[in-house]
Structure 1
Amino acid sequence: MELSRSRRGLQKKFVASLLIVGFSPGIVALFATYLYSIQTIKTSIGDSFQQIAASTARRIEAMIDDEIDGARHLAATPFALRTSVEASNESYGTDDPQAIRARLLQRSAQWERYRAGEERFLPNYINRGTLFFIREWFAVRAGEYQNILVTDAQGALVASVVPNVGYLHGDELWWREAFADGRGRLYVSNIYEQAAGEYLLDIAVPVMDGDSRRAVGVVKLELRRANLMKAIMEIKVGARGHGMLLNTEGTPLICPVLPPKAHLINDPLMRQLMQTTPGWVVAEDDAHGGHNSIVGYAPIRFTHPLSESSLGGHQWYAFVRQDPEETYAPVYTLLRAVGMIGFGMVTALASLGFFLGRLFVKPILMIQEQADAIRQGVRDLASAGRFDRALRSTAERRVTVRTGDELESLALAFNQMAQALDESLKTIRDQENELLRKEKLASVGQLLAALAHDIKNPLGVIRSSAQLVLDDHQSEAVKREVAQYVIEEVDRLTNRINHFLRFARQKPPEARPVAVKALLEAALQEWRALGSGSSIAEEVRIAADVPDVMVDPDQVKEALVNLLINAREAMPQGGSLAITASLEGKGGAPTAVTVRIADSGCGISPEHLKQIFDPFFTTKDYGTGLGLTNAKRLVEQNGGQLAINSQEGKGTEVVLRLPALSR
């Protein structure tokens, strides 16, 4: 098991436990205080915003109701206004709608000429007494109104403070709603933009006859939005809080921060605001860039009943909000102060815990240090030589602890374990030496048996050939032929003996950077020199990004030649031989170069494929059975890997992975 944990782990746990026990209640209390403070602030500010919104709604209601009352009082003036409206209705002199329509068009054309300056005198159907009266009314409150105009039962103009208006108004919404086919209703429009930056609100009331049973005309007041702005602008909530006037579409009609209709209240928030009574909510998005904002609201209800189309068919709401950063600033300030105090206490307690923990942990650290040394020593046994392993022991890894408690007992048990480990290592070394001796004897016996088998038959042939040479009855030609045969057999035996010697003598590799192309070319050149045979088509492909390899070139070349010879022997009737080299680990530093040798020969059966690397295993009538064994050993002792993939009847592919040189 890997034991690379921190040397100070137990000390850290001791300090952490001290901090947890000391500060857990404080942290819980601080969190509870935070939650309580947030909820208290929300409730307090929410109630305050609700009262502000309700107060603002009442002021707007009172302002609109006062204007309606003023307009109704103006419309009810009998001599200055109602009489002139009735006179205008009687001036048509007929009940024929077509005749009345013709008269209206004629007057409208004359009024347009007057407005254009083509006629100098005011038309006589504009009542001068009524005009004088509404001008005096307008002068008293000139800053509040944009215009005051009076119409008769046909929607025709009777008088207007501002002459720049049309003559016929019967098709306009405010007139239709206020006249209501003679029934008479009160109408208040939505706030609209008449010109750039100029916003108005229309209030239209009917002019009733003397019995107040039937409407005979309509009076319209064009009220400037600035009057309502006063009620909104008076709302002061901190440095970044303000009020607004909304309708049910979420359109801000009055907002002191952004222009009208420059932003919309989102649907989820509007659903929260559209209530019948004042209240407050926490808005996820307050349409001003704030999140989790506290918002107060109140519906606006007028005392007078209005027509269904009033206010654009919507409901008005007073809306109060504040930047959440400003709202929660007191809580955050409190938390920062408490946090700084807590940080100071944590630092002091941690220092004290560190000092005390060091006293408690020191004996355990001594045991851990010696245990790590023993663990590293045991790990190094695998890579150490036999002579080094014989010298290694744990006799010096002992711990002396005098605490009179469980730690001293732990140290004693540790020392006993180290002593038992020394005895186990000595037993293992003895068993290893015995095992190596037996393996060497077995290998020598197996090697001698194989060598004797390979030498026995050729020696018999050589002896028979020598007897023929000694026979005086044989001709010189026969003797020379037999002598040449003896020489070839001796060379073959010499080659076999050298093969056995190379297997027995395992020379350590002398690695150096070698180009893959040069390595393959050297192996192919030697392979071609060892014999030809049937025609074999060679193909060599080396990728452009292949780096040099770090190997012993002689040993790896010997392995490659053995593999190439096996490929040629697998294709006695000829075939194709493909050699490729490519790079692994292209994403970062190169790790290995892969060399593949693929032939189109007879392949290897699955049962033989399992044994091909076993020493002395061969399926041929000749050979030592050490070629692949020696090739695999040479590749692996150079830090590489060798694997063989084969399908019987289709061919064989040998894969070598050689260590690449770091760039």
Structure 2
Amino acid sequence: MVRVQGSPLLSLLLVGLTLAIFAVDAFTPLDVAIAVMYVVVVLLSASVWRRRGVILTSAVCLGLTVLAYAFSHAAMFSGPASGRMVVSLAAIGIVAYLALRWQAATNALIAREEALHRSQSQLAHVTRVTMLGELAASIAHEVNQPLAAITTNGGASLRWLNRAEPDLDEARAAIGSVLEEAGRASEVIRRIRALARRSDPRHLPLSLNEVAQEAARLVRRELASHHVSLNLDLAPDLPQVCGDRVQLQQVLINLLMNAMQAMQHCAPGEALLLLQTRIHEQGGVVCSVADTGPGIPPEHLPKLFDAFFSTKEEGMGMGLPICRSIIETHGGRIWAGMPPRGAMLCFSLPVTEECSA
């Protein structure tokens, strides 16, 4: 049962039900324990109000039970009626106690789930920051390229302006190139800051192809330094998915880096990496990362996504479990394929029409 705090409709329903039970119990000659129905009010109150509200509701129900007995049997004592009243009071008290215990256990479970979610988010953030450290050379290259172009175009614009007859058109073109490259550098820095920032996930409509291209740009320099060739095979007209861009980039970068490390012993020219997107036959979108490394031993497949399991000597075994957590949070699933050569890791995401941030 989920507590819906502050629901006016349910509150009015509880008040109306309480008054109806009291009216029937106090002003009708029925020889049944009508007051036992107050247990329904107590149970419903546990789903609407906090602990204090449940205690107050239980006290009101107990008081109304006694008051209804006083109204209907004030002139003459009735043993059976007194027995029914005692049974009703006992039932209300027992149900109130159980409802409070249930409410406390539910609140404790919700608190644990929230703490677990925060811990997972913090761990994912730490992993992203660690991953950025491993990509330092690629990031520096991504930033240095537009900076070098800015320097070149800035010098060219000065030369055009310093001529005996300044060529303003050429200077304008060079300055336009400076602004374009500055925007490119700013975009690279924005992507890096987004990966490094610690923030709550925002699920918005996005193109998985764009996410794949951005992740590939960030790791391409690192792959080149390890003599790994990356090919993109992105399906055209891929439907949008609802997801968090930063988290999905983290998944893709992690899969690409894992594949790169798995091919460290490949001969020159044989380390090939394929990043592919396609529409799933059963609906949704599938993204896969395939390499030409030694592959995954069959005995490792069942525990590949278990926490702290790693085939690398210095691995922590947290990358793939975090990837699984992210993909499952997005309503998808992740699995390992068995290609004829190497390894393949795939994940699927549902295609949704509406997103909530």
TM-score normalized by structure 1?
A: 0.29
Q: Say which one has the larger Rg.
A: 1
TM-score normalized by structure 2?
A: 0.49
Structure number with higher strand proportion: 1
